[in-house]
C-alpha cells in the first residue's frame, strides 16, 4: 500500500470509532500529547485515556494487516 492509501484506510477506520476515542487518538498521535496532558485537557483520568487508546489500537490492528499496521503506526508517529 502507498502512503495515501494507508492514510485513507486509517481515516476511514477512525470514522468508525466513537468521537471520544478518535479525539484521544488524534491528540496522542497527531499532537503528541502524553496521557497526562490529554487527561488534563479533557478532564478525564489517565486511566480513561489509556483505555480509549488501547481500544482504538486494538480496533485498528484488527482491521489492518499486521505488517501494514506497523507501517500505519509509524506514519502516525513520525510523518502525519
pTM of the predicted model as reported, rounded to 2 decimal places: 0.76
pLDDT for 54 equals 94
pLDDT for 10 equals 81
Q: Cell numbers 470509532 label which residue?
A: 17
Number of domains within the chain:
1
pLDDT for 72 equals 65
pLDDT for 76 equals 66
Query: What φ, ψ does residue 74 adopt, rounded to 5°?
Result: -60, -45
Judged on CB neighbours under 10 Å (0-12, 13-18, 19+), 57 is middle
Which CA distances in Å does 40 have to 10, 16, 43, 53, 60? 26, 25, 5, 16, 25
CATH number at residue 74: 1.10.10.10
Amino acid at each position: 500500500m502507498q502512503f495515501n492509501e494507508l492514510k485513507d484506510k486509517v481515516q476511514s477506520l477512525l470514522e468508525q470509532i466513537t468521537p471520544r476515542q478518535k479525539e484521544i487518538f488524534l491528540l496522542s498521535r497527531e499532537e503528541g500529547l502524553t496521557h497526562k496532558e490529554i487527561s488534563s485537557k479533557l478532564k478525564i483520568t489517565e486511566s480513561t485515556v489509556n483505555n480509549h487508546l488501547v481500544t482504538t489500537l486494538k480496533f485498528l490492528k484488527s482491521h489492518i494487516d499486521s505488517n501494514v499496521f506497523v507501517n500505519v503506526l509509524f506514519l502516525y508517529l513520525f510523518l502525519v
